[in-house]
Structure 1
Amino acid sequence: MKTFDKLESNVRGYIRDFPVVFSTAKDAHMVDEDGNVYIDFFAGAGVMNYGHNNTKIKEAVVEYMMGDGITHSLDMGTEAKRTFLETFNDVILKPRGLEYKIQFPGPTGTNAVESALKLARKVTGRTEVVSFSNGFHGMTLGSLALTGNATKRAGAGVPLGNVTTMPFDGYLGVDADTLAYFEAFLNDAGSGQDKPAAVIVETVQGEGGVNVASWKWLRNLEKLCRRHDILMIVDDIQMGCGRTGTFFSFEIAGIHPDMVCLSKAIGGMGLPMALVLIRPDLDVWSPGEHNGTFRGNNLAFVAATKALDYWRDDKLEEGIVFKGLRVRERLDALAGQFPKAQLVARGRGMIQALESKLDGFAEEICAEAFANGLIMETAGVRSQVAKVMPPLTIDEVVLEQGLDILENAIAQVAARRFPNAYGKSVA
C-alpha cells in the first residue's frame, strides 16, 4: 500500500475502505495479491452487472483485438459501432416500443449528463434545470450542480447555479405530495421559480441512499413535465442495464422520458462507455457541437454488443427478480432480528440496502463485512446506508454466502454496540 500512499493523490476513496491490493477477479469474486478471496456486493459501483471477466464478453473483446479491430475512432463510422447501434435498437429499443437517437458523448456518466443538459437548454432556450434532493449525477460542474451532497458540491470551488432542487418522493414524509409542492412553484408567478428546460431524475437514488421513487410518483412527474412543456431526463447510469429488474429502470412505470443517460454497465465488462438516448425530434445538435476524444471506444462497443445477448430472452430478468426478492427477504429478517440497530430495508431488484439511524453503524457493517470477505459500500449523505449491489449474474449459492457474511457482520457490530442485548462480540 506504500506505493499508493506515496504516489497517488489524497483524493482516492475506495482504497481506504478496502485497504488491500486486488490482483484478479472472476464473476462475483475478487482476489487480492495475498490470495484472499472476496465476494463482491459492490460490482464496481454498478459497472460490473455481468460479473468480472465475463467469459463470453471477454472472448468477444479478445477476438476483436486479435483481429486488429479499430480501437479508437472518435465519431467515425466503424463496424463495431454499427453492430452495437443495430443490436441495441433491435434487442432493447424496438421490443419496448421506444424510439431514440443515440449519442456517444464520451466515456463516463457525467459526460452523458452534461450532454443532456446542454441539449435540453439548446432545444428549449431556457437555462434552469430541476433536480431532486439527495440526487447524484456526476462530478463535473454541470452535473455537480444537480447533485445534492453538500460535501461533493463544496469541492467545486465555484458557485453552482441554474439548478433548483425539489424534494424527491418521500423526502417530506410518506404522506407528502412532493410533486404538488413542485407544481405549486411552477404555477405561481411569485414563487421565484423560472420555467425549467428539463427535470432530471433517478428512479432509485443509488449514491443518495437507495431512495426508491414509486411508479405512481414517476408517472405523475412525467405528466407534470408534459403539462408544463418541460423535458424529462432519466439518469439511468447506475440503475439501468437491468439493475432494478428490467433493462431500463423506468419500464414498469410506463413512462417515456425525452432523454435517458446510460453509462457504467453499458460497457459490458468495465470498459468506459456512455450514451444519451434522445427523442428524435430533439436531436438538433449541429455536427461537432458536442464532442469528446474517447466517444469512439470500439472495445466497449464490442463488449456492450455481446452483453446485450443477455437481453434476447427473459432469463436474466427473471433471475434478477428472484434474487432481488431473496436479498430483500434476508434484509427484512435482519432488520427484525436487530431492532436496536434501527435498520430499515429498501430497494428494487438487485439494488437493496439497509439504513441505520445510528451514526456510523452502516460504515461499521461494511468494514466488518470486508474483514470477513465481503465487499460492500455505503451510500447516503452520512454514509448511513449499507448497499447490496452484487453482479446481476451472481450464482445463487454465492449470493447466500455473501448474505451470511453480512448477517454475521451485523451481529458483530450489534454485539459491540449493545452487548447486553446481543451478547459479547467474538471479534
Structure 2
Amino acid sequence: MSQTDMSIFENLESEVRSYCRSFPTVFTKAKGYKMWDEKEREYIDFFSGAGALNYGHNDPMMKAKLVDYILSDGITHSLDMATSPKAEFLTTFNEVILKPRNLDYKVMFPGPTGTNTVESALKLARKVTGRTDIISFTNGFHGMTIGALSVTGNAFKRKGAGIPLQNVVTMPYDSFVNDNLDTLEYLERFLEDGGSGVEIPAAMILETVQGEGGINAASFEWLQRIEQICKRWGILLIVDDVQAGVGRTGTFFSFEKAGIKPDIVCMSKSIGGYGLPLAITLIRPELDIWAPGEHNGTFRGNNHAFITATAALNYWKDASFEKDIQEKSEKIYAFLESIVAKYPELNGEVRGRGFMVGIATDIDGLASSVAEEAFQRGLIMETSGPKDEVFKLFPPLIIDDEGLEKGFEIIEDSVKAVLGARELVIS
C-alpha cells in the first residue's frame, strides 16, 4: 500500500494548519482510545479531539445507531425543523441529565461549534439585560469568532482578529496572581466604585477549568462567590462547558460539585457523542426571549449528531459511569503527583480536575518537548497555557486501566528522556 506524500499538506493546505504539525503522520483508523496511522503504527490517544471525543473513537453503540439511521434514509439536513431525532434528543437530555440534577433549562441549537454557542450566549445576555459589557477572566478561551474572541485572553489569538475587541472587561481568574490574592474582592471593588470605569456588565463568562489557558481549576468556593456576586448585581452567569463538560471533570456538568446553577450554559464538543458537530446553549426559561430566527444557522439541526448524542446519554442512565470516571481520575492525578515528586528538575505543578489535568513547568519549551517525545513513543497529547507551559492529559473517559498504565509509562519515559537530554546539553 503506497504511503501518502506529506508534501500534499504543505503545498495545498493553508499555513493555518496546526495539529498536523504536532502529530506529523497520516492517521487512517481509530477505535476506543487508540489510533493508527497508514504505517500501521498504534498510538494511545490522550488528546480525545481536544475534548470532543470523551467517549473515544467509533463507539460501537453510537455507530450502530447512526448507520441504521443513515441506511433508513433518515433526514440529514433540516435547519431547525422538527424531526424525530431532535425530539428524542430533547426528551432524553431532559429526563437523563437535567431532571436528576434539578436543572430547568430551555435548549437552544445554535451553529454546531463551541464558538457558536458562546456567541449566542453573549448576544442573549445583552438582549435580556440591555447592557453592553461582558466580564471575562484572564487566560479564558471561548472561541475564535469575534464575540467569543473578545472574551478570550490569549494575546496571539486575539491579535488574529485584526480589529479592536471591545465591550469586555477582563478580571483575574482564581489564583491568577497567587493563592493569597482574593481576586473577587478586587472584582467587587470595581463593581461598587463609581470611579472604577467599569460598568455593570450584562454577564460574566468563565470556564470552571480553563482548558487552553493552562488547565487552571477554579475552587468551588470561588465559583460559589461568583454566583453570589452575579445575583447581587443582576449579572447573568455564563458557564462555558464546551471542553470541561460531558464528564471531562468528573461529573456531566463541570459546575455540579460547586453547587451553582448558571443562567446560561454553553456546550459543544462531546455533546455530540461521536465527534459529530453539535452545540447547545442552555437557557433559564425566563431568559428565553428570542424572536423566531433572531439567532440562526444553516447547520443548527444536525440530525446525525442528534442520533449519536442521544445514544451517548445511555452512559449516564445510572451512576456507574460517573463513578468509574471519578475512580480513574484519582489514578491519573496520583500519577501526575508522583511524576512531580520523582523528577524535581521539572519544576512541575499538577493542575486540573478529573480527566482534564496536566503538569505545568516554568522551564521554557519543556512541556512541548515532553509532548513531542511522547508522540515519538506512541502517545498523543498536547500542550496548553499562554506559553505552552503545560502538557495535558485528556484521555477518553472510556479508557481502561491497561490503556492508562501504558500511557503513564510512555509519559514517564518521555519526561526522563527530555530531562536527560537537557542534562547533556547543560553539561
Give how far 1:174 is off. Answer: 0.3
1:310-343 alpha-carbon deviations (Å, 9 max, x no partner): 0001111111111111011111111011111101
In structure 1, what is the equivalent of residue 335 of structure 2? 330
- Alpha-carbon distance between aligned partners in 1 of 2:224 and 2:17, rounded to the nearest angstrom: 39
Aligned residue type for 1:36: R
* 2:77 maps to 1:72: yes
Aligned to 2:292: 287
Q: Is 1:354 matched with 2:359?
A: yes
- Cα 1:420–1:272 change in 2 (3 A) is closer
Distance 2:258 2:332 in 1: 23
Q: CA deviation at 1:418?
A: 2.1
RMSD after superposition: 1.0
Q: Which of residues 159, 164, 172 is equivalent to 1:154?
A: 159
**Quick one: which of 174, 179, 182 aligns to 1:169?**
174
Give the letter aligned to residue 73 of structure 1: S
Is structure 2 residue 34 aligned with structure 1 residue 41? no
Q: State the Cα distance separating 1:2 from its structure 2 match.
A: 1.1
Offset from partner CA, 1:64-109 (integer Å, 9 cap, x none): 1111111111010000000000000000000000000000001100
- C-alpha distance 100-411 of structure 1, shift in aligned 2 (>3 A): same
- The answer as to 2:411 corresponding to 1:406 is yes
Mean Cα deviation higher: 333-342 or 90-99: 333-342
Alignment of 1:234-253 (within 5 A): 234-253=239-258
Identity of counterpart residues, as a percentage? 57
- SS of the residue 1:271 aligns to: coil
Given residue 102 of structure 2, which amino acid in structure 1 is its aligned partner?
Answer: G
Counterpart residue number, 2:222: 217
Deviations 1:34-82 (A, max 9, x none): 1010000000000000010000011111111111111111010000000
1:395 & 1:293 partners in 2: Cα distance? 39
Unaligned runs of 5+ in 2: 1-5
Offset at 1:417?
A: 1.1
Deviations 1:246-291 (A, max 9, x none): 0000001110100000000001110000000000000000000000
**Cα distance in 2, alignment partners of residues 23 and 265 from structure 1:** 21
Which residue among 272, 280, 283 is the counterpart of 1:278?
A: 283
Deviations 1:369-402 (A, max 9, x none): 0000000000001000000001000111011101
Counterpart of 2:350 in structure 1 is 345
Partner of 2:221, secondary structure, is helix
Amino acid at match of 2:339: L
**After the TM superposition, which of the residue ranges 337-346 and 204-213 deviates more from structure 2?**
337-346
SS of residue in 2 equivalent to 1:418: helix
Q: Secondary structure at the match of 1:217?
A: helix
Alpha-carbon distance, 1:419 to partner: 4.2
Q: Partners of 1:313 and 1:2 in 2: how far apart?
A: 49
Partner of 1:304: 309
5 Å matches for 1:135-154?
A: 135-154=140-159
- 1:180 counterpart = 2:185: yes
Alpha carbons of structure 1 residues 420 and 129: separation in structure 2 relative to 1, 3 Å: closer
* 3-state SS of 1:183 partner: helix
2:15 aligned with 1:4, yes or no?
Answer: no
Q: Which amino acid aligns with 1:175?
A: N
2: CA distance between counterparts of 1:363 and 1:406?
Answer: 12
Q: C-alpha separation between the residues in 1 aligned to 2:425 and 2:321?
A: 45
Contact 1:75 1:296 in 2 (8 A): yes
Give me the TM-score of the superposition, normalised by structure 1. 0.98
3-state SS in 1 of match to 2:314: helix
How far apart in 2 are the matches of 1:317 and 1:268? 16
Gaps of 5+ in 1: none
User: How far apart in 2 are the matches of 1:318 and 1:241?
Assistant: 14
Maintained 8 Å contact 1:324/1:352 = no
Q: Which amino acid aligns with 2:268?
A: S
- Counterpart-to-counterpart distance in 2, 1:34 and 1:97: 50
Counterpart check, 1:363 vs 2:354: no
**What is the number of equivalent residue pairs in this alignment?**
422
Q: Partners in 2 of 1:189 and 1:347 — Cα distance? A: 36
1:316 to 317, 321, 328: 321
Structure 1 CA distance for aligned equivalents of residues 405 and 220 of structure 2: 29
Q: Does 1:199 align with 2:195?
A: no
SS in 1 for 2:260: coil
Secondary structure, counterpart of 2:111 in structure 1: coil
Are residue 54 (structure 1) and residue 59 (structure 2) matched?
A: yes
Q: Does 1:88 align with 2:93?
A: yes
Residue 388 of structure 2 corresponds to 383
Secondary structure at the counterpart of residue 79 of structure 2? coil
Partner SS state of residue 340, structure 1? helix
